[in-house]
Amino acid sequence: MRRCGRCLYRRIFITDLHEMHGGAVPVAQARLKPDAPGPTVRAMTQQIQHFDVKGGPEFGRKHLPLLREALKEAGLDAFVVPHEDEYNNEYLPANAERLMWLTGFTGSAGAAIAALETAAVFVDGRYTEQVKSQVDPELFDYSDLVELGVAGWIRANAKPGWKVGYDPRLHSPDALQKLTDAAERAGVQMVAVDQNPVDAAWIDRPAPPRAKVHPHPIEAAGEAHADKRRRVAGDVAETGADAAVITDPASIAWLFNLRGGDVACTPLPLSAAVLEKDGRATLFIVEDKLTDAARGHLGNEVAIRPESEFGEGLKALAGKTVLADPAVSSAWVFDTLKSAGASVKRGRDPVALPKACKNAAEIEGSKQAHIRDGAALTRFLHWLDTDAQSGEVDEIEAAMKLEEFRRATPELKDISFETISAAGPNGAFPHYRVNTASTRKLERGSLYLVDSGGQYPDGTTDVTRTVPIGEPSEAMRRHFTLVLKGHIALTLIRFPEGTTGGALDVLARAPLWMAGHDYDHGTGHGVGSYLGVHEGPQRISKAPNAVALKPGMIVSNEPGYYKVGGYGIRIENLQFVTEAAAIQGGDRKMLGFEALTQAPLHRGLIDTALLTEEEIAWVDGYHAGVQAKLLPLLDGPAADWLVEACKPLAAA
């Protein structure tokens, strides 16, 4: 899974779509389409009524018996239900929410196993409380996803002779191997199914998404898809492969310069492709999703076939060496290739690294998107510093207000993920999800953390700001400043070519470590160009990563501090890797970072006594740049507020 550790799976609902899909539809999926004009987008979003979380114990009570009947008909004793869909998406289309349908659990990571007499749901530490409120303990045992996992459950609970079913399209080869090894030890047979019994039992299952697919203009892409295909095909040939299977929708969107709208928050066209080593390609897609413009854009070197024929396309690779990524392609892809007689070469998706290294047009587009987004966020920060100081505004109202400011930007296509809107103690949970049951007021004397982003045709944004409601305590200011020191260190660093994000992670943590603190999430993730807000292969974290940072890569810089029962603090900017200016006396080529995010930090939370002169200079320089870029887009009280917010720290 390529999910950021703090990512949400909270849903917002639209009243007039509520009944259409048996209860609710994700607003981000239904409301903001990549091809929708601004007025339509605004009209749809104005129908938001409330925040809620679809799911709950009644799902298991209603659906577990239906699945068990389907298992009996299929001759299975149990069935494994992962969270993942066929495309390993971060956000799932409604028809792929199998885990939620079965259990009522709506988290972004998890799994379940349902047997004829018993069942279990697996979650990680982020969701230990949420699962208790959403999944009936009389029906499902609660288990640990990381330590025990489904494989551990099979070893401990499956009876010899059981047939445990799985859908090979929903498991990676490595994840499936763990299940198979556990089954062998338990005397259990793992059975691949052609028909997923969840799908068979899901009577009112929503139809698959059919959003239109459009060309991504060359002005934003910066490189024609024919040139991209030839460049990536050359990399495929260097591995000794004749072709590569591409199943990551983000890779397909980037490779072919296409954008769609099949999932929430990310403009993906769900599809698959085969890229030949000479640059020719076959795109397997539901054909009526392609607009005439998209067909013309693809040209003669890209064959278009129905997605239902993807299996036949894999079989046609018999006798060839085929590159496939076990981290993103399913066990079904590997099994189909092997059974057809292809030689499968395991390797990283050949699109991943070129996609991560943004070209000049993509970087410039991202800069412009961040300026627009920064103006909307500044209007919101001004509102937080004035109207929201009453202590009567709650987390949902604040999140909706932020979306209102973003929707006023005509270029906005969608939010890039569901907004984290966390007041007081809720901010201490990095993965907090606001809903009607959990929402808190932004009380005076507390901190408010907001993590949000937007999708624009030329860039994707992701930014976190922490602001005081009322007067902050000295402890709040101290902790904020420690986080800020780490953030600045990761902005100012210069590093030699070949350096990985893991080597830099300590810079963001060091000020907190020296005070006896830390945070339990990564420091930085990659971000796409009008694509996924969480993108690899680069990252900045404690976890090992062999991918070196390269010019053009966009990464987040987001250290944090979380006081359980008190408050949360996170400062997040996006920044991109640049070739650093030569250092006098240096003998190595160095790289560095340049900030993309344009939004003021709250001066009232900064304790200048804890900052060095260099750190103060960075804050003042950053704010001067923010003011210069955003002031032309603002007027009235918001403009006046920005000028005040960007004053040098030395100014009273």
**Integer Cα distance of 324 and 352 in angstroms:** 12
Running DSSP on this structure, what letter comes out for residue 214?
A: E
Identify the pLDDT of residue 11.
Answer: 28
Cα Rg for the chain, rounded, in angstroms? 25
Whether the model pTM is above 0.85: yes
Helix ranges restricted to H, 386-498? 395-407, 474-492
**Integer Cα distance of 301 and 292 in angstroms:** 16
SS3 111: strand
Bridge pairing between strands 48-52 and 11-14:
antiparallel
Bridge pairing between strands 302-305 and 111-115:
unpaired
Cβ–Cβ under 8 Å, residues 527 and 554: yes
- Hey, what domains does the chain have and what are their CATH numbers? 56-201 (3.40.350.10), 214-355 (3.40.350.10), 357-645 (3.90.230.10)
Q: Tokens 């005070």 — which residue? A: 515
Q: Amino acid identity, residue 256?
A: F
Cis preceding-peptide flag for 637 (omega within 30 of 0): no
* pLDDT under 50: residue ranges of the chain: 1-50
SS3 110: coil
Q: Which residues of 326-361 are buried (b: 16+ CB within 10 A; e: fewer)?
A: bbbbbbbbbbbbeebebebbebbbbbbbbbbbbeeb
In a 13 Å sphere around the CA of 35, the CA atoms on its Cβ side amount to 19
